[in-house]
Amino acid sequence: MKIYINGKFYDRNAARISVFDHGLLYGDGVFEGIRAYKRLVFKLEEHIDRLFESAHTIMLNIPLTKEQVIKAVIQTLKMNKLDDAYIRLVVTRGEGDLGLDPRKCLGHATVIIIADKIKLYPEEFYKNGLAIITVPTVRNLPEALNPQIKSLNYLNNILAKIEAINAGCDEAIMLDSLGYVAECTGDNIFIVKNDHLFTPPQCMGTLRGITRDTVMEIAGKSKIPVHEHVITRHEVYNSDECFLTGTAAEIIPVVKVDGRIIGRGKPGKLTLDLMKKFKVATKKEGVRY
């Protein structure tokens, strides 16, 4: 495996960054998780746009243009001879001293690209659906650390994930500070009620997921009404269908939330239809190499 760090490729064991890198010391940096399907990097431009927006907000200067980042991603995929891949693109503040001050970070941000084989979720998740729970850890408040910034600091999500695992679940619904549904630890959430789709808006403390956007696009084309709307737990429990979206997970049906059966307790019709249409989109929309 060859890993890209600041324009050079290193073997896995030789790919190292400084212990003074503020990405490590403070989670000071941004990242993207991207996927390639049969030599097509799905929605790569959208991922790069989101990366640059996250970096802009934390005043992190990415030392490459968007076009150069796209080239570097493609180069990494080719170097590793991968047709299908999961790509992790990371930009840290770089090497500084032990204080917080980002001005002390020498020269350049650290740009890292890792391309690996995708580890698929077990097939039964998609066939039978997931049982998930809501957890006590509240999603980061947008007015404190906006979840729209895809930062390297994922401790909020990890705490929620630990709570889910302790309860025997693989994913958790995180609520906002008022108790409304925000998103999951690594996925966005949708519910279906009377053939309408509902998902929380960004102001509730959610990442603007690329998969979420894709699902909304597909729904639009299929004339399925989509609403970005406040969602309560009651509405989730009484929804007809529920599913999660994310780059790694794609679309995963949810059949049980906090012990309440959703719909008929198996993946719903609309969810299954969206899963099919999403598969088609992954063959078309992105950058080929």
* Rounded CA separation 207/186 (Å): 9
Helical axes 210-221 vs 269-281, angle rounded to 10°: 110
* Rounded CA separation 246/210 (Å): 7
Site for ligand PMP (CB under 6 A): which residue of 18, 24, 27, 33? 33
By the rule CB under 6 A, 186 interacts with ligand PMP: yes
Does residue 266 have an active-site annotation? no
Toward ligand PMP, which CB reaches closer, 2 or 212?
212
Of 17-25, 70-78, 244-252, 268-276, the segment contacting ligand PMP by CB under 6 A is 244-252
CA angle 63, 66, 149 (to 5 degrees): 80
By the rule CB under 6 A, 209 interacts with ligand PMP: yes
The total of other beta-carbon atoms located within 10 Å of residue 113's CB is 25
Token reading at 63: 């030392």
By the rule CB under 6 A, 212 interacts with ligand PMP: yes
Site for ligand PMP (CB under 6 A): which residue of 111, 183, 191, 231? 183
Does residue 84 contact residue 283 with C-beta atoms inside 8 Å?
no
Place of tokens 């063959």: 283
Residues 187 to 206 in contact with ligand PMP, rule: CB under 6 A: 187-188
Of 9-17, 118-126, 245-253, 255-263, the segment contacting ligand PMP by CB under 6 A is 245-253
CA angle 180, 186, 192 (to 5 degrees): 50
**Which amino acid belongs to residue 272?**
L
By the rule CB under 6 A, 3 interacts with ligand PMP: no
By the rule CB under 6 A, 23 interacts with ligand PMP: no
Q: How far is the CB of 212 from ligand PMP (least distance, A)?
A: 6
Of 58-66, 124-132, 239-247, 263-271, the segment contacting ligand PMP by CB under 6 A is 239-247
By the rule CB under 6 A, 129 interacts with ligand PMP: no
Of 57-65, 99-107, 191-199, 242-250, the segment contacting ligand PMP by CB under 6 A is 242-250
By the rule CB under 6 A, 140 interacts with ligand PMP: no
Toward ligand PMP, which CB reaches closer, 95 or 183?
183
SS3 243: strand
By the rule CB under 6 A, 137 interacts with ligand PMP: no
Half-sphere exposure at residue 181, Cβ-oriented, CA atoms within 13 angstroms: 27
Token reading at 98: 């032990």
* Rounded CA separation 80/114 (Å): 10
* Rounded CA separation 133/9 (Å): 41
Task: Name the active-site residue from 150, 276, 279, 283.
Answer: 150
Catalytic positions are 150
Q: Where do contacts with ligand PMP occur on this chain (CB under 6 A)? A: 33, 157, 183, 186-188, 207, 209-212, 245-247
